[in-house]
A and B are shown apart, each in its own frame.
Chain A
Amino acid sequence: MRDRAIIWSGLAMFLLFATFPFWHNLSAAVTSKGPNPVLPANARQCVAPVEYMKTSHMTLLLDWREQVVRQGRREFTAFNGQRYNMSLTSTCLEQCHSSGKAQFCDRCHDYAAASVPCWDCHVDFKSTLRSAK
């Protein structure tokens, strides 16, 4: 008794699944261009160098949270001597990234499917106001 038909169709199914990224991306005409977050119009320099912010903004924000919530310190001195108020909503989003969560944070975070625990507590005012209207 041989079950070649069953075995080969099982193998074909596995191969189809294993090569899913290839045929999906080719058929959906995906490019490797990457996301395009809307950058601030007026500000040129972030609170840390761009390369650092790209990979480690979450540790900076966690550090800010620690400083503000647990130690009551609000002032942050950046690498270039500039001083900032440590606040995600009123510094990052209001002073520079006025495009907001949807057009700045989410662009890359959706692209890489990285969950953003910030918004578990913080409120994204823009989208909340928009949905309230």
Chain B
Amino acid sequence: MKTSLSALSLVLAIALAAAAASRFVWLLPLLAVALPYGTLAIFLAGLSWRVVCWSRSPVPFRIPTVCGQQKSLAWIKSARLESPHSTPGVVARMALEILLFRSLFRNTRSRLEDGPRLIQREAKWLWLGALAFHWSLLIILLRHLRFFVEPVPKVAVLLENLDGFFRIGAPVLLVTDVVVLAALLYLLQRRFRDPQVRFISLFTDYFALLLLLGIAATGVWMRYFARVDAVAVKQFVLSLTIFAPALPKNPGPLFFAHFALAGTLAAYLPFSKLMHMGGVFLSPTRNLANNNRRKRHINPWNYPVKVHTYEEWEAEFRDKLEAAGLPVERP
């Protein structure tokens, strides 16, 4: 309870501080220029630094976690996806993992019943919530290209039209806005409701969820209720992308709350568990082929070790061995 409350108050403090700071003209350059450039630089540099660090760590052994028959003899059927032995198999397995969260789909829940009897049952809600959240976030991010690029890329227009398929109201209701809020609220209540999950939940777990929830909530509020001037917002964002920042005319405190929360997320991401964004590609238990026996893998940091074989030892002490009457290998 304490950790979740402190995470909530931190998110609220960032949003309120940004909203309040937007009232002061002398603070605007800090909020509208220094903040976006600074957080973006931290995001790009931090993410690159983490990935480069990971790329430098040696992976001497194949350590895939598999749940299928390894490729061996021709007449034994092997599991190409569950225990891939070649690069195409690994790529397919990674694609299923990254795009569909296949390992999370196998999530189970154990319960102790009278007897005592341990019961394992499938638990798919976490998978569904995670999938709904991540896909919505991706679509929302791509949709935001309409504010960043001129002319608007076709893919952003297409996604916007698909997203507003139901044509409810104006501004048109976007399905991903509803889905992302619902999924985030589900993921958050899961941490509260389940005692085991609550026990292992840390500040960073709540902070990430509440930060994303804050960004989504301010965005939704801005689009549907407060109705910020989208043209002015785009002019401001475009001015940032061409390094000729023009302070926004009148986007209001809500826009800056959204802006500051998104900046916080970007700057926080490389140093948090949210770095699984890059890490999922570099999981050695997933991205290595299970060919430990088919191929010889030599430890890359093996160096030539000085050895003294028995033959050499025998040659060295031959006269003493013969004098003592001991048997020798080579007479």
A positions within 8 Å CB-CB of B: 1-4, 7-8, 10-11, 14-15, 18-22, 24-26, 28, 30-35, 51, 54-56, 58-59, 61-62, 108, 110-115, 117-118, 120
Contacts and interface: CB of A to CB of B under 8 A. Distances in A.
Interface stretch (B50-58, B108-116, B120-128, B182-190): B50-58
Contacts of A7: 51, 54-55, 281-282
Interface in B161-186: 161, 164, 167, 169-172
A25 B232 CA distance: 17
A128 B114 CA distance: 74
Contacts, number: 114
Contacts of B25: none
B228 A114 contact: no
13 contacts: A7-B51, A7-B55, A28-B150, A30-B150, A55-B227, A55-B228, A56-B227, A59-B170, A62-B169, A112-B230, A113-B156, A117-B167, A118-B170
Interface in B129-151: 145-151
Given A4-B55, A11-B48, A115-B172, A108 B241 contact: no
Contact of B229 (A32, A35, A54, A58): A54
Contacts of B160: 113, 115
B164 A115 contact: yes
8 A-B pairs with the lowest CB-CB distances in the bound complex, closest first? A32-B239, A21-B148, A58-B170, A113-B146, A7-B55, A113-B152, A112-B230, A55-B227
B272 to A, nearest CB: 18
A18 B42 CA distance: 13
Interface in B30-69: 44, 47-48, 51-52, 54-56, 58-60
- The CB with the most chain B CB atoms within 10 A, among A19, A20, A62, A112, is that of A112
A61 B170 contact: yes
Nearest to B57: A2
Contacts of B239: 32
Contact of A32 (B58, B151, B157, B236): B236
Given A32-B246, A62-B170, A111 B150 contact: yes
Interface in B223-238: 227-232, 234-236, 238
B281 A54 contact: no
Given A25-B241, A58-B170, A59-B170, 8 more contacts: A3-B55, A7-B51, A7-B281, A8-B52, A21-B148, A22-B243, A32-B239, A118-B170
Contacts of A51: 250
B149 A1 contact: no
Contacts of B47: 14
A22 B297 CA distance: 43
Contacts of A28: 150
Given A24-B149, A55-B229, A61-B170, A31 B55 contact: no
Contact of A18 (B44, B149, B230, B231): B44
Contact of A2 (B59, B149, B250): B59
A83 B236 CA distance: 36
A93 B88 CA distance: 59
A117 B172 contact: yes
A67 to B, nearest CB: 15
Contacts of B305: none
